[in-house]
Structure 1
Amino acid sequence: MTRHAELDALRGLLLVLMTLTHLPTRYSAYSSQLFGFVSAAEGFVFLSGLVAGLVYWRIRQSQGEAALRQRLRRRAWQLYGVHLALLLFLFTVGAALGHFGERPMLRNLLSFYFEQPLVALWAGPLLLYQPPLLDILPTYIVLLLATGFWMRLAARRGWATALGLSLLLWAFAQLHGRAWLLALFNRATGDTVPNLPLPVLGYFDDFAWQLLWVSGLWVGHLLAEGRGQELRPRPALAWAAIGATAFALAWFHRWLPPSLGLPVVDAEFWLQWVDKVLLRPLRLSQFLLLAVSLACLSHWLRPVALAAPGRMLAGLGRASLPVFSVHLLLVLLSLGLIQQEEVPLSAPAELALVIGTLAAMAASAWRHGRRGTLSHPGALRAA
């Protein structure tokens, strides 16, 4: 299958930004706020859904439902295996560093594990306990397993029905549906299973974030059927989206004069309108504006993706699973470098950490690319 270099390069760029955000360095303050109210995670989930829609819709059309379910299960098991390996590393090496090495960041990361180790050991493999940083792959696994349902619904009832149901699930999340379901689970299990607090379920509310994935599936389906031109906005809408995106960025970074009377982005405003956990309305709206703006610039993205820096980013994007796994492993190890919570690393140490991590990710992508070229030349994978 033909690769889309610009999609690979965008995913690679988002992987780099997420890595800079997760590493305990001063650079995280810049990478996490680059897009204003929106982070790199939203773009990565959407693009992953897009690539999944592009690949798996073709598989469904050419090989049928049974082949689609088999491919989805195989990919989900692969992701689950990676997640279990990372959990094992965190519960052993990470816990030892945090406890015996007295590393506060690792201890905070594993606070529930240290408080209730037996519960963590069974809830972790069941994807109920998701420590910070290790909550992204479980979300991806759930979204991937649901892909067959969304495609079947879209094929039978149309994408309007699928997107409408997805929007209802997002609204359920805004009403704190996940907390309500957890309360039901805790009441139903009673004394037989220790109660699970809401934070252990992971940072991302799957009921909210599935909207990005399903939207990506829809766009991928259009690309798979050669209908990508339907995504191009009209010039008036394009300029409106670009202008609104610039306005939101200026508002976020406080470049606009106070005389405009815009709401102050304080903690209360953030939780109500921009909260990342629930993918609140303002965050979702700005992501939509950014997506439309990028769609307007799509004819410029491919030449950039084919240039040398773009090819390096595209290599990371093509090998997103091994690269993401290496990034998580190195981020967890880097947290063990922080001896006191308020004392950061020195500037040279931070720079060496960033360069070393990115180099390891690039080496992983290069190895994956060589192996993929030898075994499946020209293949496009929904990683």
Structure 2
Amino acid sequence: MEGSLATQQATRPAAAPKRERDLRADLFRGLALWFIFIDHVPGNWLANLTIRNVTLCDATEVFVLLAGYAAGIAYGGTLLREGWLFAAAQVVRRVGSLYVAHIVLFVMFTAQVGYSAAALQDSIYIDELHLDAFGQEPYRALLEALLLRFQPAFLNILPLYIVLLLQFALTLPLLRRPRLLLAISCALYGVTRWFSLELPSWTGGGWFFNPFAWQVLFCVGLTLGYRAPGGPGPLLVLPWWRSLGALAVAWLIVTFVLLYMTWHRPEYAVQVPGWVMSWWENVDKTALHPFRLVSVLALTYLLAHWVRPEARWLRGAAAWPFVLMGKQGLPVFCSGILFAFFARLALEYSDDAPMQIGANLAGLASLVAVGWLSDWYKKRERTPRREADPALAERAA
């Protein structure tokens, strides 16, 4: 009996050791969520200081990459412990949470924008945010929103995330072979860009974020987050770090110079060679142009080496608000979409310095408050409930 039990225990797969939370991922995801809020407010002076102004990528790329990184950590460990079926079920459950959050956000955002447009008697909000189709065919628009085929402005990131996770649920076993997973992902990315593959949308054209292209960034995050038993990650630890680091720095400098000459100071664009401008103008975000992909990977590679996971300042007061927001990414993201529209209304009323400062501080404080409340609730939910007082139970009986 004891021998058979020992044999069964020996044949079981070794449980994956529990990894400490990587506060770097939380920090940069929190910063990305804050940048998304800032960039969604027209006329916001802080929008001149976000990541999109210094390199050829923005907070969306960071958000998707870190979403893949977090998925690689969480579901990779479940895959090792429980197998593919249970891990895939957890991914599908997460998809359900995201879907519900997206529909609730869609309803609230549509009501927010529609009421503001009616109250101010100005349809510019409806037109700019691509909600005019909802006013023309509300029932059809609601159905298409449920099918993820109707995506107004600012409401296209969660549908992308949902499809990426559904793809991940099917390809979970490949996480054990990260290089094969990356090879398949890159092949799909190349085919998508070459043949212009896309998912159709109700209003015409394809999705603003093409999942067939953006999956490559998500898969890179997966392979960075996944850890095979007894081994380091497959990509972060490389012997030629200094050479790759130098190339990454050079690439980011070149793209910053081009951004400065074509976006910040367009009068200098005449000094850029014509052949450079021809491909520079074709750098698209919808299908994740290779230059955008290289930019976010270069930035990630440098930060992964420069910011160590054991750095004390990650646990300091200055980093705390962004780490907190990064831990509670879904509620903070959804709230940020709604808060950004309120900030827009405030800056349209007055865009002087006091209002700029007030709108941005109020927005950041609101995001931190949402993150804190969500974190507090989850901690209380995980805390075992105290047993009822025996004296009270006897008195009640």
TM-score by length of 1: 0.83
Tell me: higher relative CO, structure 1 or 2? Use CA pairs within 8 A at least 6 residues apart: 1
Q: 1:165 to 1:328 in 2, by over 3 A?
A: same
Q: 1:355 to 1:207 in 2, by over 3 A?
A: same
Partner of 1:253: 260
Native 8 Å contact 1:6 1:302 kept in 2: no
Taking the TM superposition and a 5 Å limit, the aligned residue runs for 1:31-46 are 31=50, 33-46=52-65
Partner of 1:204: 209
Partner of 2:152: 131
Range with greater deviation from structure 2 (37-46 or 106-115) = 106-115
Give the secondary-structure state (helix, strand or coil) at the position aligned to 2:45: coil
Identity across aligned pairs (percent)?
Answer: 25
Q: 1:247 to 1:93 in 2, by over 3 A?
A: closer
Partner deviation per Cα, 1:70-110 (whole Å, 9 max, x = no partner): 21121111111111111111333322322453341344211
Q: 1:48 to 1:321 in 2, by over 3 A?
A: same
> Structure 1 residue 271: deviation in Å?
4.4
Native 8 Å contact 2:189 2:213 kept in 1: yes
Range with greater deviation from structure 2 (89-98 or 8-17) = 89-98
Partner of 2:354: 348
Q: Which amino acid aligns with 1:33?
A: R
Native 8 Å contact 2:252 2:295 kept in 1: yes
Q: 1:270 to 1:123 in 2, by over 3 A?
A: farther
Give the secondary-structure state (helix, strand or coil) at the position aligned to 1:175: helix
Taking the TM superposition and a 5 Å limit, the aligned residue runs for 1:1-383 are 1=18, 2-24=20-42, 25-31=44-50, 33-103=52-122, 104-109=124-129, 110-155=131-176, 158-175=177-194, 177-179=196-198, 182=200, 196-198=203-205, 201-222=206-227, 226-228=231-233, 231-233=236-238, 234=240, 235-254=242-261, 269-272=279-282, 274-299=283-308, 302-337=311-346, 345-376=351-382
> Structure 1 residue 314: deviation in Å?
0.7
Q: 1:278 to 1:206 in 2, by over 3 A?
A: same
Q: Distance in 1 between matches of 2:88 and 2:309?
A: 36
Native 8 Å contact 1:6 1:301 kept in 2: no
Native 8 Å contact 1:19 1:327 kept in 2: yes
Q: How big is the alpha-carbon RMSD for the aligned residues of Structure 1 and Structure 2?
A: 2.9
- The aligned length equals 356
Q: Distance in 1 between matches of 2:209 and 2:230?
A: 31
Q: 1:131 to 1:301 in 2, by over 3 A?
A: farther
Partner of 2:13: none
Q: 1:279 to 1:334 in 2, by over 3 A?
A: same
Q: Distance in 1 between matches of 2:211 and 2:102?
A: 17
Native 8 Å contact 1:18 1:32 kept in 2: no
Rg (Cα) greater in structure:
2
Return 5+ residue gaps in structure 1 as ranges: 186-194, 378-383
Return 5+ residue gaps in structure 2 as ranges: 1-17, 384-397
Native 8 Å contact 2:325 2:332 kept in 1: yes
Q: Distance in 1 between matches of 2:311 and 2:73?
A: 17
Q: Distance in 2 between matches of 1:84 and 1:328?
A: 13
Native 8 Å contact 2:332 2:370 kept in 1: yes
Give the secondary-structure state (helix, strand or coil) at the position aligned to 1:3: coil
